[in-house]
Every structure is written in C-alpha cells, then in structure tokens.
Amino acid sequence: MKKRGKIIVIVLLVIVLIYLLPFIVYALGNNNTRQFMFEQVEYKELCDSITKDAKTDSAKIMQVYEYVSNHCRQPQGNENPKYNNTYDVLTNKVASCDQQVWLMNTMLGTMDISAEMLFLYGYDSISHHTVSIVGMLRLDTQGHKSMLDPFYHLYFLNKDGKIAIMSEITEGNIRMPDKPLPPRYLDLYKPDYPYKRHSHNNAISTERKYVRNMIRLYTLWLGKAFTGPFRALHN
C-alpha cells in the first residue's frame, strides 16, 4: 500500500508540474515573452470562436480576414495610431493598413497558417499600401499565395472565380469587384516597382515556436481551466 501511495503521489506531482509548465515559462520569461504568450492565449480563443463553423483552413482564413476588416476602422483626420504589439491593435480598433495586416497575420499564425506582410510600391519607389499574402486559399498554385487586403476589405477573383494570387493581379487576370476601388489602387500592383516582402508570421525563434505550440495544446486540452488562470496571471 505504501508503494502504491508513493506512485499516486508521484503521478499527481507530475500532473501538477505539467499543468504549471506554461506558468513557469511565463514567470521566467522577459516582458516580450510574457506578452507573446498572452497574445497566443487571447488569439487562440478568439480564432476558435471566429472559426468554429469553418470546416477547412481556407474557410478559417476568410473568417479571420472578415473579422479584422470589420473589427478595425481606418484612422481619420490626424489619427496616427502607434502600437507596441498586435493586442493593442485589437483592443483600440483603429489601425492603418500595415497594422491590420500585422494583426490578421498574427491571428493566422496561432492556427499555424502561413501569411506574409507585403509592401506595395507600384508606381514609384515609396510603399503606398500593405496587404497580406496568405497560404491554403489556393491549392493549384504550387506555393503561390492569395492576396487579401483587410484595410480596404478587398480581394480579387481570377477569371476562373478563384481568389487571385499576386501574379494574376499584376497580369490583369482578374474580375473587377462590384464596389469601386480606391484611387490608383491597381497601379500598386504594377511591376514597375516590385513589391517587398516585409515579414512572415512564422519568422519567429525556435523557442517561441515551442511556446506557441505549447499554448495551442494547453488551450485545446484544458480550455478555460488553463486560459482563465493564465489570463488572470497576466492581468
């Protein structure tokens, strides 16, 4: 009986240590690591709620895209929002084009969906706009990814009715949308001054990838039994 009791105690201690692991990582991390972990928890729950009825990754992408487009509004007048992290974008709801793409790509990253931030130069040497290049929307493009523009709530379909990739937009192989485009919008996609890939949502350190996967698993396994105490710790 004593041996059995020891085994039970050891098993319980292991379970407790496993449960406490993300809290230990949080306590030992710096401010940037803590903010990253907090955002992963928030976005995992938010994305799960947004995409609960989506059956495919492409459907999940479109749900997140619609959420960001509708959640954030463009700055007005002298508004010039500057944020330290994407959670500030989420909570303040006023965001420029690059900030909206930053938020959307970060949210997609919590679902392990590839997305890049792209600066559009178009007709001169200055970046005039930022869009997102997202994977999993087109399975027939051999690695090419589709363009989504949350700031203008806009994307293009190609002549076959599929969401257009960048080469189709630059070549004009697209259907014009029903709503009017912003002035000179299509000029941004001209190849005179090629676009610039700014950042990828998977371009993070190996340690952060481990942390992101850990948060994903704990949220999946324990739900609010994990997210509730973790959110309380951060706040």
pLDDT tens for the chain, residues 1 to 235:
677 778 888 888 989 999 999 999 999 999 999 999 999 999 999 999 999 999 999 999 999 999 999 999 999 988 889 999 999 999 999 999 999 999 999 999 999 899 999 999 988 888 999 999 998 787 777 667 899 999 999 999 999 999 999 989 999 999 999 889 999 999 999 888 888 888 888 888 898 999 999 999 999 899 999 999 999 999 8
Q: Given this model, what pLDDT does residue 7 score? A: 81
CB-based burial label for 33 (10 Å; 0-12, 13-18, 19+): middle
Q: What is the pLDDT of residue 1?
A: 60
Residue 21 has what pLDDT?
Answer: 94
Cα–Cα distance between 219 and 235 in angstroms, integer?
18
| Closest to 122 in 3D by CA, of 65, 69, 73, 183 | 183
pTM for the predicted model, two decimal places: 0.89
Give residue 143's pLDDT: 66
Q: Which of 151, 68, 152, 59 shows the shortest CA–CA distance to 107?
A: 68
